[in-house]
């Protein structure tokens, strides 16, 4: 069965996602869309040059929204991360730019007849995911943001480094906004099946959880200030989410999806499959964590109430 994916926005993130698909042969058809005609044409040619040295073939189409009609999924990677510079590292600094671009892109996605899954990387991702859903008219469960999938990975990296472990040995979630109001839900963090607190007690160790939470929250800012963009971490999160959909894997991921009880899109663990969000989990959070989640939801709603 042919797998077809569209990527809108061929900046540092979109190009990294496209490179993964081409280099791994995980999809058959790739539609690349960007307002910079020379850039997207050059990327397509570069990928075609790479194929001569790959054991896979990917058919590439550029700047054709009509080609998205039968795509399995679309990934929105448009954005302008430079707007975050000198803006207190707030992803909502990108909202005016992203909103204007998405209004136009969503119209063309809708006109194409696309009925697959829409994955959103574009920042501020929770608000933009909601905007895409409202403008495309796609069912809420079929429009998903990468959300705190990346922030949770940053938390795992920080905790694992502190404990001299592989980050894949750390299980747990960052919740809420993919932004400054997010938080690490420490009640969800497990090491080898034990709660983090029990693991630390058994090992006779102590960790500064506030410092680790902060490190996870500002990890993206650290990368940004080092090279003026971020790409590999978020591109990998987007690919993981995309492959979860394409494989109908029913994997539990902390992604941005619509939560009725908070009346907004925000990140919370959900089962993801070929039809998008299959089910949202019900975590046994502490009262403090529930309060932080409600505050984060309220912050997002402040920006989306007029969409």
H-helix or E-strand spanning residue 38: helix 37-51
- Contact at 8 Å (CB) between 21 and 29? no
Indicate which residue of 178, 214, 225, 250 is catalytic.
178
Per the annotation, the verdict on 214 as an active-site residue is no
H-helix or E-strand spanning residue 222: helix 209-227
Report CA Rg, the chain: 19
- Contact at 8 Å (CB) between 32 and 43? yes
Query: What CA–CA distance (Å, rounded) separates 10 from 13?
Result: 7
Pairing of strands 264-273, 276-280: antiparallel
Quick one: residue 204, left, alpha or beta (phi over 0 = left, psi -120 to 50 = alpha)? left
Annotated binding site for NAD(+): 9-14, 34, 121-123
Return the active site residues: 178
């Amino acid at each position: 069965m042919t797998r077809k994916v569209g990527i809108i926005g061929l900046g540092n993130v979109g190009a990294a996602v496209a490179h993964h698909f081409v280099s791994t042969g995980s999809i058959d058809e790739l539609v690349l869309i960007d307002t910079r005609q020379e850039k997207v044409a050059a990327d397509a040619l570069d990928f075609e040059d790479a194929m001569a040295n790959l054991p896979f073939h990917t058919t590439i189409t550029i700047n054709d929204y009509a080609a998205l009609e039968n795509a399995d999924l679309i990934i929105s990677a448009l954005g302008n991360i430079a707007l975050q510079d000198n803006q207190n590292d707030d992803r909502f600094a990108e909202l005016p730019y992203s909103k204007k671009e998405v209004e136009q892109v969503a119209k063309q996605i809708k006109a194409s007849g696309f009925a697959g899954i829409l994955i959103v990387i574009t920042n501020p991702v929770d608000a933009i995911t909601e905007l895409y859903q409202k403008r495309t008219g796609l069912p809420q469960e079929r429009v998903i943001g990468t959300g705190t999938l990346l922030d949770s990975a940053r938390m795992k990296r920080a905790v694992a480094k502190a404990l001299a472990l592989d980050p894949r040995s750390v299980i747990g979630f960052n919740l809420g906004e993919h932004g400054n109001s997010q938080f690490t839900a420490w009640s969800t963090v497990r090491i080898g099946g034990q709660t983090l607190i029990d693991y630390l007690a058994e090992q006779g160790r102590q960790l500064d959880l506030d410092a680790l939470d902060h490190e996870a929250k500002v990890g993206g800012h650290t990368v940004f200030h080092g090279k003026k963009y971020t790409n590999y971490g978020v591109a990998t999160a987007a690919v993981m989410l995309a492959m979860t959909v394409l494989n109908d894997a029913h994997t539990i991921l902390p992604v941005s999806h619509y939560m009725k009880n908070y009346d907004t899109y925000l990140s919370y663990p959900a089962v993801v499959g070929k039809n998008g969000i299959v089910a949202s989990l019900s975590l046994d959070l502490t009262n403090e964590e529930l309060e932080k989640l409600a505050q984060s939801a309220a912050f997002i709603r402040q920006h989306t109430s007029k969409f």
